[in-house]
Structure 1
């Protein structure tokens, strides 16, 4: 294939596209570049178009929609209308076709748009695969019976595939277009995708798609099926997280923007694009060049080598987005969360991960209810009618990672009973929390465990959750005849003894998203490194690592580990975690190495109450919501106030009792004094002084003592 004319011509197309990206100019292109590929019948979809022509007078322009097929090219030289080199936007290509009544379909590659007066439904044998060295996008114009959305296209189609296990309803459909119209017009539930079986005319409607179930393995090959994905679905777009894919960029993209000032501006272009953008890269194909695509790894499983290896480049892939609304009720505040990908984890009030918590299992929508009289939920009152709390959306069941979100939420109760808004959307700003790590040398004669940067050179003294780190195992004596391998690496909570296994007994990572495989430095076999992102347990600031380290001689044999990609595919990786067989005389006992790390969870929540409405710090989102109903009493604070009042009353009573007892003692003392003074007067015939003193006491002078 690589020596064929088709391959050479495709390579020229790819080089031309890259040249256009770098120079930003309109380059000339071979007009036949997208129409001369070898045509092989697809054998999947036959002619099933039943409506009026998309370009005819019978079709309302508002009812015209496009259906995209990625990795396929349409070949019909006799009906080619135009070839437009230098086209850097798929949307421009589709708008050109929509404005041309004769256009029924287009081929698009980055830098080239070709228009046709026919389509693959009328000529199915003209549609063939085109995926290497770059993939082509085929778009077909249709006249729909359901009004499509305002986006550039409404359906993504994948031939020979289906989404299994998520069917909501089976209906009969006369054609593939009828099936996609049923999905677009569904009102009982949100139809995200449909499977159409050509032989039985069966349409399977689903509330899931490739993105919501990414990594589950539900998207599979299936002969005789067409997978139809609804591109008109409104995804949550407020709190969005992008994952960095280092060393690769997409070969074909939907949009290319030039003179973009920064990567952040490129990210905003992706979030506000006229299509569902899921990947962007910046500055890898030219200075200040931003490229966007609706594809991601989850939607490219059927494409051969969709990425170009660029060691210095990076792509940013949309992992998940969240919309959060706050419902302020009479006795509780409720946080509602909607996500774009099935969520497994928990949501809890900060400081109470085990008592004020909701566990979530494979849901797109979930909530946390926090009653004002529930002391476990830590709701704080600040001023009249203002209640605040901090919540955490945690993806992992046990530990806090960089993917987690910290939210500061506020309910404002208008005690004058004015009608106000009670829902506020949140937006994310910043990453999660600084962390502190300290190096501890284990009590071992020759092996040390340290936390370093990814290269293994610098010991890290402080970090933030999500920072790229490495766990380093090193034989301290460089002249030692042994090498080492590591197994049974465990991270433990310093408070309640919770623990998770990071490296199993075979030496393989249990979850590659938390801890990577162990590998040797190329310069020495005395050091092993394992990459991970800083994390912590939600109930403690102490994380303790414990591992078994075994020397082996003369070298350690690696183990093959299966690592699951986000698409559900398994990839084999090497980890130095299996002991090489050796004679009994060479064996040594395992060494238990332990290290404790202090990691501080600082979501950046304001504690002094000076945060304004809907403001945000670097790491935390602050949201206020106002409630319509009137007086709201915090029972917990009422109990505390009552207790303080009772204690004050008891103190007053005790002080009064002490004063009264003291006065009685003084009175007794004065009476005794008056008796001793009056006795001499009686013997001398002098009037008694006791009577005079008694008169003084009776007159109130005793109260002056």
Structure 2
């Protein structure tokens, strides 16, 4: 879309009157009635527009990216409509309305639909995509939401079929999903040729990031919009430089981005993204779409460099079951979870591994020392729980929970509460610089631009690992491979850059690239992370100088949509000539990061920062030897102070004993004068006293 089109949309949004905020306080309820088994285009029963259809049985089916073209059947065109829900309510109130076309700012009503006139439905994706909604009289009571089904033509959800049944039509298949009682049906695949209906407990959102959603000719994908998602603890990811061309709702006079976020979480549909202030001052736009649900739409976003879209990444509902002998933390998530949940003080002993689940739990017995449940007062038990997405390290996406069980011992009733915290106080990081000879290479932790060392960091802070040849006139360039992060306690480790020089997980560590200012500097972006059992993260990498240049490697990086994108990383060894015999250099760097997750502080200073300099000395072997100069200086200082203290103590003792010796010699002379006539014994006794007083014997 060009700039004039963009400004037209902005002016349209600002010219309309204020819109009242509508939210649904009650959760949607799916009726327990069974599907009729006879419905769809070939259904001879009442239509949605007839008097025989109960208004409570009317539901809408959405098809994004398609437009219905039937000029002779157009009932009304309503410009200035900024709410998809308003458009659907207008159609539902009109008995003649069978379908609508909607894009932001325009609602068009029709007296016919695409099932009766299939040739009239065609793709509409440029310059904006249109949403087509069809009204149907269902055999199962739909939920109270504005629409009950999202349909994607020519696609299916692969590999998650829970049950396969035969259905007479597409509408019959969606009714079977809405009326399913043995499991929560989130979606269905309907094969128009074979009449097969595949019911699934997964949808595009729960399997986001995988390749399960695929194109399939002759298959309709049906997604249940009546599913209740967790909304208590939600994380939104920022998508910079892009906003949706078509949204479901536009609110004006919204005071802040936080209020816009709350509107999304409490919307009358499953809201999955929002933007604020990008199309006008105090304008909040909501959509049930995100990148995971727009993979079949071409260019659904408008490129606006200064704008941002916030996409719902995942939500969690956490409940605490306080029982007689233990407390159970039960977690429900909106996206398939892979990772683990554990007691913060016992990450290895009180832990539950989770593989591809939407619901999981952690049991913590009161008498189990490994789970470290603490008692605070009479009948009050508490513990700290961490939900960790990665199997090895703690990242900014992880959650900390302070869970409490309170028992009223007088009437035996049980209550519980959950104190949830996403961000916590993080102690500053330690950074250290590694220098190697021939050429001299420095490795340090910096900000994303690589302009300066970062003295402290929090989990999730945007950082960069910087490799730099210190001599700008050096004939060498460098590449990095086998970059490993290690735990300082139990020797856990994770490979960040493999032996080929490619990142193993681009979410944790990005590819190595040359800076725009110098070809002798490599940067790799990452967000600060830590291991659950240690506050020390140690980076270890092999750095190889090459001359005159280093050859990059092509790496495949998987996008959030499941697609692979090729990126360049400077990590492949260039074939050397016989005269080039530079060995690999092992660089080691440590950083200290602690997480609090909002838990009580342990008394450590939050502002302390210690910097270390580590000098790499290359030996005959390829591994070399690292000498920590900072620690050596500290050790030397402690040694000198100890020696001075010993000398002072010895001098004091010697002076005191010397005074005592003089007094004893005086007594000895006065007593021994009569015995001196006997010769040597008196003199020998006097010498012994001198030696005992501290003089060294001479041999």
TM-score range, shorter chain: 0.7 to 0.9
**Does structure 1 residue 181 correspond to structure 2 residue 175?**
yes
Which of 222, 225, 232 lines up with 2:226 in the alignment?
A: 232
**Does structure 1 residue 604 correspond to structure 2 residue 592?**
no
Q: CA deviation at 1:146?
A: 1.0
Cα distance change of structure 1 residues 62 and 598 upon mapping to structure 2, 3 Å threshold: same
SS at match of 2:430: coil
Q: CA deviation at 1:151?
A: 0.8
SS at match of 1:357: strand
Cα distance change of structure 1 residues 368 and 233 upon mapping to structure 2, 3 Å threshold: same
Instruction: Spell out, residue by residue over 1:245-281, the C-alpha distance to the aligned partner (whole angstroms, 9 max, x if none).
Output: 1222212111111221111111111101110001111
Which of 290, 293, 309 lines up with 1:299 in the alignment?
A: 293
Q: Is the 8 A contact 1:341 1:364 kept in 2?
A: yes
Q: Is the 8 A contact 1:48 1:177 kept in 2?
A: no
Matches within 5 A, 1:156-555: 156-421=150-415, 424=417, 426=418, 428-445=420-437, 446-555=440-549
Distance in 2 (CA, whole Å) between partners of 1:556 and 1:593 is 18
SS at match of 1:53: coil
SS at match of 1:188: coil
Q: Is the 8 A contact 1:563 1:572 kept in 2?
A: yes
Distance in 2 (CA, whole Å) between partners of 1:507 and 1:285 is 42
Q: CA deviation at 1:237?
A: 0.9
Cα distance change of structure 1 residues 124 and 427 upon mapping to structure 2, 3 Å threshold: farther
RMSD: 2.0
Q: CA deviation at 1:225?
A: 0.9
2:52 is aligned to: 58
Distance in 1 (CA, whole Å) between partners of 2:303 and 2:579 is 47
Which of 11, 18, 37 lines up with 1:19 in the alignment?
A: 11
Q: If the length of structure 1 is used for normalisation, what is the TM-score?
A: 0.79
Distance in 2 (CA, whole Å) between partners of 1:51 and 1:136 is 30
Distance in 2 (CA, whole Å) between partners of 1:510 and 1:78 is 57
Q: Is the 8 A contact 2:155 2:215 kept in 1?
A: yes
Instruction: Spell out, residue by residue over 1:19-61, the C-alpha distance to the aligned partner (whole angstroms, 9 max, x if none).
Output: 32355569xxxxxxxxxxxxxxxxxx99445542212111111
Q: CA deviation at 1:531?
A: 0.8
Instruction: Spell out, residue by residue over 1:346-369, the C-alpha distance to the aligned partner (whole angstroms, 9 max, x if none).
Output: 000011111000000111111111
Q: CA deviation at 1:315?
A: 1.2
Of residues 98-107 and 577-586 in structure 1, the stretch that sits farther from structure 2 once superposed is: 577-586
Which of 573, 583, 592 lines up with 1:589 in the alignment?
A: 583
Q: CA deviation at 1:418?
A: 4.1
Of residues 557-566 and 401-410 in structure 1, the stretch that sits farther from structure 2 once superposed is: 557-566
Q: Is the 8 A contact 2:402 2:420 kept in 1?
A: no
Distance in 2 (CA, whole Å) between partners of 1:153 and 1:492 is 50
Distance in 2 (CA, whole Å) between partners of 1:92 and 1:209 is 26
Distance in 2 (CA, whole Å) between partners of 1:530 and 1:429 is 29
Of residues 407-416 and 256-265 in structure 1, the stretch that sits farther from structure 2 once superposed is: 256-265
Cα distance change of structure 1 residues 135 and 428 upon mapping to structure 2, 3 Å threshold: farther
Q: Is the 8 A contact 1:275 1:294 kept in 2?
A: yes
Q: Is the 8 A contact 2:337 2:355 kept in 1?
A: yes
Distance in 2 (CA, whole Å) between partners of 1:595 and 1:355 is 29
Q: CA deviation at 1:486?
A: 1.1
Matches within 5 A, 1:69-218: 69-218=63-212
Instruction: Spell out, residue by residue over 1:540-560, the C-alpha distance to the aligned partner (whole angstroms, 9 max, x if none).
Output: 000000111122222222221
Distance in 2 (CA, whole Å) between partners of 1:562 and 1:322 is 31
Distance in 1 (CA, whole Å) between partners of 2:289 and 2:495 is 34
Cα distance change of structure 1 residues 352 and 85 upon mapping to structure 2, 3 Å threshold: same
Q: CA deviation at 1:571?
A: 1.3
Q: Is the 8 A contact 1:71 1:129 kept in 2?
A: yes
Q: CA deviation at 1:576?
A: 1.7
Cα distance change of structure 1 residues 576 and 51 upon mapping to structure 2, 3 Å threshold: farther
Distance in 1 (CA, whole Å) between partners of 2:451 and 2:120 is 57
SS at match of 2:432: coil
Of residues 16-25 and 502-511 in structure 1, the stretch that sits farther from structure 2 once superposed is: 16-25
Q: CA deviation at 1:221?
A: 1.1
SS at match of 1:463: coil
| Structure 1: runs of 5 or more not aligned | 1-6, 27-44, 609-705
Distance in 1 (CA, whole Å) between partners of 2:44 and 2:519 is 68
1:564 is aligned to: 558
Cα distance change of structure 1 residues 418 and 46 upon mapping to structure 2, 3 Å threshold: closer
SS at match of 2:513: strand
Cα distance change of structure 1 residues 239 and 154 upon mapping to structure 2, 3 Å threshold: same
Q: CA deviation at 1:231?
A: 0.1
Q: CA deviation at 1:14?
A: 6.3
Instruction: Spell out, residue by residue over 1:605-650, the C-alpha distance to the aligned partner (whole angstroms, 9 max, x if none).
Output: 1379xxxxxxxxxxxxxxxxxxxxxxxxxxxxxxxxxxxxxxxxxx
1:579 is aligned to: 573
SS at match of 1:265: helix
Equivalent residues, number: 580
Of residues 141-150 and 45-54 in structure 1, the stretch that sits farther from structure 2 once superposed is: 45-54
Q: Is the 8 A contact 1:433 1:465 kept in 2?
A: no
Q: Is the 8 A contact 2:421 2:597 kept in 1?
A: no
Of residues 373-382 and 248-257 in structure 1, the stretch that sits farther from structure 2 once superposed is: 248-257
| Structure 2: runs of 5 or more not aligned | 19-38, 603-699
Q: Is the 8 A contact 1:520 1:527 kept in 2?
A: yes
Q: CA deviation at 1:579?
A: 3.1
